Structures are given as structure tokens and as C-alpha cells.
Amino acid sequence: DLARSPNFEQVMRMLKQAVTKLPKDAKPILHSDQGWQYQMADYQEMLRKHHIKQSMSRKANCLDNGAMESFFGRLKTECYFGKRFETFEQLEKVIHEYIHYYNNERIQVKLKGPSPVQYRTQSLN
């Protein structure tokens, strides 16, 4: 679910979708930056209601969530940096295709070769 700019409705849709996939005994931690949408009372109430611990990066400190910062850097570089798209929908399609590729096919040096999905599957077996 991509948007042209941050919006609270999109964030709440994401959170509601995530909650439906949680096992009953889960005690998840949801990490974000300090964006205004993550500080809204409705968002924080939904986290409390579903026993989700909120974690936020320190202000102006990208190192607090280095793994995701690294992913988004790769996404920008490998997926769309320097390219032009005729429509927002074209960009959205390319991003969705890249995320599928990244998770299912792209080798990961830190995992010694397999894609994230392959690694997780091996770990569960």
C-alpha cells in the first residue's frame, strides 16, 4: 500500500492488517521512526489494545533501525534510482515486483546465499 505522502489512514490500515496475522500469544514489537502518525493517540491505543510494544528510533538517528535503512537504500538504488515513471501506478508496480524479488530470489550475503524466504524456510525445517 503505497501513497504519495504520509497519511494516518494508511498507517492504521497497515496496523489493522498486521494485527489480523498475529498469533494469540504473540508479544510483538513494532519499530518506527518518530513520524507524527506513530505518535497519534488512536495509533498508540491500537498498539496497547493488541499488546504490541512500540519502539521508536531516536530523533535523527538512522542507525537505530539500520536493517530497514539498508533495505530502503537498496530498494532505491536497485529498483528506481535514476529512472522515470509515467505514472504513480507504474512506480508502485515496480516496487511491489522488487520487494517480491528481494524476499524470494535475491541472494543475501549476510545469510550466506539464500533469499530471506529461503533462509526462514530452512530455519523452520
The reported pLDDT for the residue numbered 15 is 95
pLDDT tens-digit readout, 48-71: 999 999 998 888 777 777 788 888
- Per DSSP, the three-state class of 66 is helix
Whether the pLDDT of residue 94 is over 90: the answer is yes
Task: Write the DSSP string, 8-51.
Answer: HHHHHHHHHHHHHTS-TT---EEEE---GGGGSHHHHHHHHHTT
Instruction: Give the single-character DSSP code of 21.
Output: T
Beta-strand relationship, 29-32 and 53-56:
parallel
